[in-house]
Structure 1
């Protein structure tokens, strides 16, 4: 039984377009992509300050152009193991609307690849069974060159209802 792409999520990503520009990156050997229009900057790794009691995947902050912003390791949100920093590791700074407020967030990656275009016609919803990750954290999968690119649902990952112990803030524990 094929499950259609969640209409609300598909509309947010594709917005009646056939193609969308994305930035592709690597996490634990998997290729992910986020819409290029939300990317503010790509940074080398910066010193991080830990925040006690924060969600495991939002455990620190960095200084970005004089502003303190949360640093996320979305690997942990997906249940992957934390990775060691390498010479290729980068931080992607994105601007998201979290609970109706614009918010800058840094996302730690293993490697940033390229800005490319993905076709809506190649997208599929995440399967409802057999996934090793939370399906609601995945906007869709896009098949390209025989491989799948994972489009994470960043708004869901960073929303206050993403974990049962949320209290209304990005850094709730």
Structure 2
């Protein structure tokens, strides 16, 4: 990696925790609106969100990461992300408590996730960045929504 390599990410909050996802995955950020419910989906699947005529499966990222569900507020947003898979790209809406910023940090600041002391599966985490206010957890969206999960979401969306 070059000494000047940087990572651009959208940072967002879930409760007191700060997370980030690569800006290259984020297509847009929408104000929260209730999703159109889809029957028989996994508990974290809220339903479909209409994004310019396309039904995008929308998930409660808090629930998917094992956090306590929370009622939407005026700060709640939906990140529309394009998740690259081996054979295609899947669009998902991620409901987050609040979007904080688009930020850039030096790639060498990205530390590997500790094996213990984190409440999320380590394969969900690309790494952590130490900031004065605490850690920013950089998530791997493709791992959080593994192929089986995305196939289940796609099937539920098609129902």
In the alignment, which of 95, 98, 103 is matched to residue 111 of structure 1? 98
Aligned residues: 156
Relative distance call for 1:32 and 1:20 in structure 2 (3 A) is same
Q: Any idea what SS the aligned residue of 2:68 has?
A: coil
Root-mean-square deviation (Å): 2.3
Does structure 2 conserve the Cα–Cα contact (< 8 Å) formed by 1:24 and 1:116?
A: yes
Q: How far did residue 99 of structure 1 move? A: 4.4
Relative distance call for 1:64 and 1:54 in structure 2 (3 A) is same
Misfit runs of 4+, over 6 Å:
14-17
Relative distance call for 1:168 and 1:106 in structure 2 (3 A) is closer
The unaligned stretches of length 5 or more in structure 1 are 1-13
The unaligned stretches of length 5 or more in structure 2 are none
Q: TM-score, normalised by structure 1?
A: 0.80
* 1:11 corresponds to: none
Q: Any idea what SS the aligned residue of 2:34 has?
A: coil
Relative distance call for 1:17 and 1:82 in structure 2 (3 A) is farther
- Whether 1:87 aligns to 2:74 is yes
Aligned 1:2-151 pairs, distance under 5 A? 18-151=5-138
Q: Deviations over 1:132-157 (max 9, x none)?
A: 11111111111122511011110011
